[in-house]
Amino acid sequence: MNARFFFRAVSIWALSLMLVTLSYAQNPAPQRQYSEVMYHKLKPGHTLQEALAIEDEWKKIHQVQVDNGHLTGWYVITKAITSNPNQTAYDYITIKNFSDFGVFGNGYPQSHLEKVFGSSAKDKWEGLGKRTEAVKESVKMEIWEGVDAAWNEKQLPPDKSSIWVIDWMRVKDGKYAEYVALEQDMKKLHQERIKMNIITGWNLSALKYPAGSENGYDYATVNYYGSTKELGDGRYAEAFQKAMPGQDAKKLTDRIYQTRDLVRQEICVLRNFAVKQPSLAAK
């Protein structure tokens, strides 16, 4: 790995670790779920197929990290449809889930690299870094914290939730608590939609780092679908009546709109992932 690539990676890990150390020292909290979201842009002359092939090499490392508990999951998604007028801002996204911020202090332990590359870990690791830099660059990184979620009780594998509809939200001043409460109340609706096999899961996350109004958003929701067929399912009203009897769907929707603005929506496709492999006994 060349010096520039290594310095940038270590700088990001060190900064995040410093911020989190200060936060935890002041206010110890129970274990939570976090996501490192990286936005990647292809370099001129290179294709998405090349980038996905490189990410397939990274998957080998991330799978070891997941199996060792260093990460809780790793995912690659690409845009299919976006409301963002600047569609070339990035080409695809990688997501690393974790529960311990200590991963930033040692993002890629030597033991994990050796398990993948063997005795020639140093040379192969540097070669992977050079090939990665030649194809794409990471243009932005964000850390998100999980707030709430609902999932299919069958614990479906990620490839059964291949379509992600992501909404980025900016909450209006003074409306944060009300917005989160409304989203959590709507969880009953998402659980009903899961029972009706419309979606496979839903989650709500808050942008943790970097903070700043220039981001344009501070919360995001993701609705997970098994295929594009479910995107057109017209049973929303039926699900609402079952989950929230006696409530007016329009009034509730209007209340939500009064607390936040939908900044951007994207429909993304899951292209790769690494998750904990079920044991033979579980199978």
CA trace torsion 230, 231, 233, 235 (10° rounding): 110
Residue 109: predicted pLDDT: 92
Domain limits of the chain? 3-143, 145-270
Nearest C-alpha neighbor of 210 from the set 140, 263, 138, 142: 142
Assign 222 to helix, strand or coil. strand
Q: Which residues pair with residue 180 across a beta bridge?
A: none
Do the first three CATH levels of 3-143 and 145-270 match, i.e. the same topology?
yes
CATH fold for the domain made of 145-270: Alpha-Beta Plaits (3.30.70)
Residue 278: predicted pLDDT: 58
Q: Got the DSSP string for 73-91? A: EEEEEEEEEE--S-TTS-S
Residue 224: predicted pLDDT: 97
* Contacts with 100 (C-beta within 8 Å, 6 or more apart), sequence order: 31
> Which residues does the chain have with pLDDT short of 70?
1-31, 278-283
Q: If you ran DSSP here, which 8-state letter would residue 46 be given? A: -
Residue 27: predicted pLDDT: 42
> For 3-143, which CATH class?
alpha beta
Separation of CA 278 from chain center: 22
Residue 15: predicted pLDDT: 37
* Inter-residue contact 23 to 15 (CB < 8 Å): no
Separation CA 21–CA 88 (nearest Å)? 35
CA trace torsion 265, 266, 272, 277 (10° rounding): 30
Nearest C-alpha neighbor of 275 from the set 179, 190, 157, 150: 157
Tokens for 184? 């959590």
Q: Which residues pair with residue 267 across a beta bridge?
A: 81, 165
Separation CA 221–CA 202 (nearest Å)? 7
